[in-house]
Amino acid sequence: MSISTRSVMRRFPCVAFAAALSLLAMAPALAETSAPLRVVGFSGSSNWPIYVALEKGFFKRNGVEVDLAATPDSVSQLTKLIDGKIEIAMTAIDNVIAYQEGQGEVPTAQPDLVAFLGVNNGGRFNLIVAPEVKSYADLKGTQLAVDALTTGYAFLLRQMLEEQGGLKPSEYKLFSAGNSGQRADALQSKKVAGTLLNSPYDSIAERMGYRRLAGASEIVGHYQGSVGATRRDWAEANQEKLVAYIRGYVAGVDWLYDPANKEEAMAILMKRLPRTKPENAEFAYDELLSPTKGSLLPRAKLDIEGVRAVLKLRSNFGLPKKTLTDPMRYYDPKYYDMAVR
């Protein structure tokens, strides 16, 4: 203790005691501020902006630490978010809507979830099938893999099978297999005849002899895929942290969209996803970042019309039956606006 501090304590003991109590009261808050944000996403190239922001220090530059983990499935991811075991889920907005509306895969405490940024267009998924499957008709009587039966992109697959293939739900069976990597494994082990895969798992499977039967973009134009989501009460209590995360994430997206960074970007993806070969990284780069058909949303700006498309599918297939029409029930733009302003 310095001489000046001891002098103050001798002359003003009450003031010094109050100051000490104030410091003690601040200690938990300071510790909480310095704790990394626990972020959970699905393994795949949709996490590319996060990989970049971690490698290039964009999160740290904005004053936030991020701990990214992969989820085996949406059930684990959403229950952890609802239970407060993580702060942020990079997940399909359909998952946010489903659990918010009591239509989730498993019962949970009543959540109050909110999306705060957009990740990609959900039309990026491709229906990858076994080599012997030549048409939708060959999928009759087969089993197909999804993440979860009632959330995520299961409804998108059902719409593809119905609209493009004329298949009724009774003519095939859906199997809950988890994330893209696990669905790809289920396909390779012949547990299923097909599944929706995102990049780079779709191109990896194709190079192994599996066939791309169709792309989701062929039946949906605007379709909001993944988003950044959190609990509304956590967002309100941790506004600065959330805004800092969004700034770091958007910086990662902007960096990826700079063609000068292509080679380094591919190296980062292969480092983070060891199963990815250079040709797969090239495919993923084109799929996500092509100026004409890229699915990664520029500046991470959520597509409101895309959310309406998700709500339409959920209104058709979700149980208990509900008519859902208001995108703003599940999205609060104020944090994003603060971050990019």
User: Quick one: pLDDT band at residue 28, thresholds 50, 70, 90?
Assistant: very low
Q: pLDDT > 90: what percent of the chain?
A: 79
Whole-angstrom Cα distance, residue 48 to residue 64? Answer: 18
Q: What is the mean pLDDT of residues 246-255?
A: 98
So what's the pLDDT on residue 293?
79
Three-class SS state of 106:
coil
Residue 56 has pLDDT above 60, yes or no: yes
Residues 279-320: tens digit of each pLDDT: 999 999 998 998 887 899 999 999 999 999 999 999 999 999
So what's the pLDDT on residue 17?
37
Whether the upstream peptide bond of residue 13 has omega within 30° of 0, thus cis, is no
- Give the predicted TM-score (pTM) of the model: 0.84
Whole-angstrom Cα distance, residue 71 to residue 93? Answer: 16
So what's the pLDDT on residue 117?
98
Whole-angstrom Cα distance, residue 199 to residue 121? Answer: 12
So what's the pLDDT on residue 292?
80
Q: pLDDT > 70: what percent of the chain?
A: 90
Whether the upstream peptide bond of residue 111 has omega within 30° of 0, thus cis, is no
So what's the pLDDT on residue 4?
41
Residues 155-207: tens digit of each pLDDT: 999 999 999 999 999 999 999 999 999 999 999 999 999 999 988 899 899 99
Return the structure tokens found at 77: 């991811």
- Is pLDDT larger for residue 14 or for residue 87? 87
Side by side, which strands form the sheet with 211-215?
173-176, 143-146, 194-197, 126-129, 211-215
So what's the pLDDT on residue 152?
81
- Is pLDDT larger for residue 38 or for residue 23? 38
Residue 43 has pLDDT above 80, yes or no: yes
Residue 5 has pLDDT above 80, yes or no: no
Extract long-range pairs of 289-294: CB within 8 Å, 24+ residues apart. Answer: 289/256, 289/257
Q: Of the ranges 55-64, 153-162, 215-224, which is most confident?
A: 55-64
Whole-angstrom Cα distance, residue 83 to residue 104? Answer: 14
Which range has the worst mean pLDDT, 24-38, 65-79, 139-153, 169-183?
24-38
Residues 104-160: tens digit of each pLDDT: 999 998 899 999 999 999 877 899 999 999 999 999 999 999 999 998 899 999 999
Whole-angstrom Cα distance, residue 276 to residue 269? Answer: 8
Which range has the worst mean pLDDT, 2-11, 42-51, 181-190, 282-291?
2-11
Query: What average pLDDT does the chain have?
Result: 89
Residue 97 has pLDDT above 70, yes or no: yes
Whole-angstrom Cα distance, residue 49 to residue 39? Answer: 13
Residue 15 has pLDDT above 60, yes or no: no
